[in-house]
Amino acid sequence: MQKKRKFNLRTVPLYVIFAAAVVFFVIKLVNIQITGTDRYVKTMSLTHEREVTVQSLRGEIYDRNGVCLVKNEYSESLMLDHASLPAAVDEKNEVLARLIGVLRDCGQEITTLMPVRGTYPHIEYDEEALKNVTAKNRLARFLLYHNIRSDVGCLELYEQLLEDFALTDDRGEHIYDTETEDQLIRLRYTLDATDFADDNPYRLLSDIDLITETAVLENGCKGVYVKKEYKRVICVPGVGSNIIGRTGKIPADRVDEFLSRGYPYDAVVGLDGAEAAFEDILRGEDGITVFVEDSYGNVVDSYVKKEPVPGKNVYLTIDIGLQAEAERLLGEQVKKIAAQGRASGIPDNGEKADSGALTVMSSKTGQVLALASYPTYDLSTFSEDYPDLASDPAKPLFDRCLSGTYQPGSTFKLATAVAALMSRKITPDTEIYDSWRYEYYKDYQPTCWRSGGHGLLNLTDAIGASCNYYFYEIGRLTGIETMNKYCTMLGLGEYTGIELPENKGILAGPEYKQSINKVWVPGDTLQAAIGQSDNSFNPLQLSSYISTIVNGGNRYKATVLYKVCNYSGSEEEINGPQILNTAELNEMTIDAVKRGMRRSKELTSTTKYYNYPIGTKTGTAQTSKTNNNAVLVAFAPYNDPEITLSCVIENGASGVNAAAPVLKTISYYFGLDENGNPLPAQNEEN
């Protein structure tokens, strides 16, 4: 049973503290700037109000057992505020130079974006930095804005800016020392290049320390304020990254969309994964603090116009322990297959295995318990790792569980069996003689994979032996239309309903063939019946399809949303199971498929040793003339199935190679040893 999360003293008052902190610093600024100096005349006659957004807290993310996955951590940034900087260019330089000096004394270097290396006059463009498209475009835009020709040399640009930014006097003499001048140019370049404006403050420094903060405040630096905000912290680094996702600034191509939804320009939003999928739940409502300023830009008063409202916490259906284990086991197996393939010296024997997917879902609810994609990445070091991740040929950023689509191979034969049984073309006892070559058609005669054929088989034997001949025959008897009717009910080639982006793949058939201007021929039906032709599905679809069969026909909407709680953890809304459709199945059909999968488990070299009652089916899907993907689907336990799993290993040579991580994941879930036996009873504590 889930424990209700207790009222959490840690989280509730944070935004209150935050609001109080803003007021505290405003008061400090007022003290310094008004009482601390007599340079300004205390005139109150000309005040104006300035609204500052108070960032609300984003909801946190937990796993199904309440393990924290993403939390909020506080930080303070030093912001440069356009409205409180003097408009006159020389005064502005003076204010910025003072600020630069104070920060330099604190050992802080401000963040600037000018792609120039070296110190004047020994400077050159930073070609490495300009390889970045954003940096390149920023420079181009800046030059256009300043009416400087696009092919300007670095030194010439610098000298032009000395003039434009009024950093030299009438006689052309430099006003500031070289270091300050250099920083001023870089800063002013950055401000212009990032559209610095009243509604777009610039972040000079992130995560500032108390010494810097105090120095800035006590030296009466104008034009800056300390922004208290929080950042997202990944609690279990490197696990479930493909599910959790990232937050960040609004992407340039989605600014209009977010602005129309009431977001401020500098909002932090969910970019992918659960952070994006549950944006509307996680997002809080920002508050507004009003600063009253006199005609010199000094803050003389402030008040809260709107309190921020924190977002809600999201509990995912994922079990982070299971997820970690699935990721570990999948990675281990991929490496093992590659090593064994290399050691065998036989070409195309798994040595190219480098990636895969493993999914675990609840057969009874559609809740997704784990989505392991290998290779993967670590959200907590994403920015630093990004260049390597983006250029890695194994594509670690690609979520193979949902975006990857794979030929199901023989794991599809279960769907063919369902269609043939439900349309009464066969019964579970129907026997067919496999003589190796299927000779029904004169012009197309595919063969069984086993040379010499399997001889006489019933359905259980045929699933167990994965006999192609049997499925050519029952596929032909059933026909592609009826096969597809049942495949669609089982969710093959359909969206699983999961809240994350997925590729729904392709269900082979005349309809798809027509869409690519080709004609479906009878031979295609034979190929489709054994999971080939155009069939291609994402790994979660495979789990969902097996769930739908073994749970009696309910195709549950796949989901990663377990429940939603208030930020304080008090109220909760459970996301109950939803049925997308009910597949026409009867007991006879369900039993026949399950028996076939049990037989398959018993006959397969890599699953037969496992003692826990389960059903499995392997698939070996040809991806090119030489490479095969390893595919396996499974459910457990045999009676009253609770979980369904799928595993795909790219270039894994043979379906049998996908078994180990699936069996070990089942063992982890049910608390068994690696052979599927109960663990020795634990001694009671004390």
Nearer to Zn ion, 434 or 502 (CB): 434
Query: Closest approach of Cβ 458 to Zn ion, in Å?
Result: 13
Binding flag, residue 434, Zn ion (CB under 5 A): yes
| Shortest Å, Cβ 441 to Zn ion | 17
Provide the minimum distance between the beta carbon of 457 and Zn ion in the complex, in angstroms, as a whole number: 7
Omega before 428 within 30 of 0, i.e. cis: no
- CB of residue 582 to Zn ion, shortest distance in Å: 33
Contacting residues for 160 by C-beta, under 8 A, at least 6 apart: 146, 148, 152
In angstroms, give the least distance from the CB of 536 to Zn ion. Answer: 24
CA distance from start to end of the chain: 25
Nearer to Zn ion, 225 or 470 (CB): 470
Map 409-446 to HEC letters: HHHHHHHHHHHHHHCCCCCCCCCEEECCECCCCCCCCC
Pick from 92, 111, 221, 83: nearest CA to 165: 92
State yes or no: residue 454 binds Zn ion (CB under 5 A): yes
3-state secondary structure of 166: coil
Query: Is 201 or 464 the residue whose CB approaches Zn ion more closely?
Result: 464
| Contacts of 680 by beta carbon, 8 Å cutoff, 6+ apart | none
Question: Treating both helix axes as pointing N-terminal to C-terminal, what angle do 480-489 and 468-478 enclose, rounded to 10 degrees?
Answer: 100
Q: Which stretch binds Zn ion (CB under 5 A): 60-68, 426-434, 525-533, 560-568?
A: 426-434
Least Cα distance to 362 among 70, 129, 644 occurs for 644
Single out the residue of 59, 77, 78, 54 nearest to residue 69, CA to CA.
Answer: 59
Least gap, CB of 459 to Zn ion (angstroms): 13
Nearest distance from residue 635's CB to Zn ion, in Å?
24
Quick one: 70 or 465, whose CB is closer to Zn ion? 465
Give the nearer residue to Zn ion in terms of CB position, either 376 or 620. Answer: 620
C-alpha–C-alpha distance, residues 51 and 292, integer Å: 9
Candidates 238-246, 359-367, 442-450, 487-495: pick the segment binding Zn ion (CB under 5 A): 442-450
Nearer to Zn ion, 446 or 577 (CB): 446
Show the tokens assigned to 463.
């699933």
Q: Which is nearer to Zn ion, 188 or 454 (CB)?
A: 454
Q: Nearest distance from residue 445's CB to Zn ion, in Å?
A: 14
Q: Which range, of 54-62, 65-73, 354-362, 444-452, touches Zn ion by CB under 5 A?
A: 444-452
For Zn ion, the closer CB: 282 or 467: 467
Cβ closer to Zn ion: 432 or 506?
Answer: 432
Stretch touching Zn ion by CB under 5 A, among 8-16, 24-32, 335-343, 462-470: 462-470
Q: Amino acid identity of 78? A: L
Closest alpha carbon to 656 in 623, 628, 624: 628
Q: Which of 165, 176, 263, 469 binds Zn ion (CB under 5 A)?
A: 469
Q: At closest approach, how far in Å is the CB of 450 from Zn ion?
A: 5
DSSP 8-state assignment for residue 309: B
**To the nearest whole angstrom, how small is the minimum distance from the Cβ of residue 410 to Zn ion?**
11
Q: Which residues pair with 292 in a beta bridge?
A: 49, 301
**Listed ranges 162-170, 447-455, 594-602, 610-618: which one lies at the site for Zn ion (CB under 5 A):** 447-455
Amino acid at 516: I
- From candidates 422, 467, 631, 645, binder to Zn ion by CB under 5 A: 467
DSSP 605: T
Number of residues that bind Zn ion (CB under 5 A): 5
Of 326, 448, 463, 489, the residue at the interface with Zn ion (CB under 5 A) is 448
CB closer to Zn ion out of 125 and 436: 436
**Minimum CB distance to Zn ion, residue 452 (Å):** 9
* String of contacts with Zn ion for each residue 43-82, x by CB under 5 A: ----------------------------------------
Q: How far apart are CA 546 and CA 311, in angstroms?
A: 36
Q: Which two tokens stand for residue 460?
A: 């259980």
Report which residue type is found at 550. Answer: V
Which residues lie closer than 8 Å to 498 by C-beta, 6 or more apart?
Answer: 368, 402, 540, 557, 558, 559, 560
Nearer to Zn ion, 138 or 454 (CB): 454
Over the Cα atoms of the chain, what is R_g?
32
* Residue reference for tokens 């899907």: 621
State in angstroms the smallest separation of the CB of 627 from Zn ion. Answer: 23
Residue entry with tokens 């269900």? 507
Q: How far is the CB of 464 from Zn ion (least distance, A)?
A: 11
Binding to Zn ion (CB under 5 A): which residues in 387-416?
none
Q: One symbol per residue from 123 to 162: x for binding Zn ion (CB under 5 A), - otherwise; what is it?
A: ----------------------------------------
By CB under 5 A, which span of 111-119, 227-235, 429-437, 660-668 interacts with Zn ion? Answer: 429-437
Would you state the structure tokens that stand for residue 607, as one six-digit string? 């699953």
Tokens 């502005």 belong to: 92
Task: Tell me which residues in 502-541 interact with Zn ion (CB under 5 A).
Answer: none
In the block, tokens 């256009």 appear at: 144
Non-local (6+) Cβ contacts of 388 within 8 A are: none
Report the interface residues with Zn ion, using CB under 5 A: 434, 448, 454, 467, 469
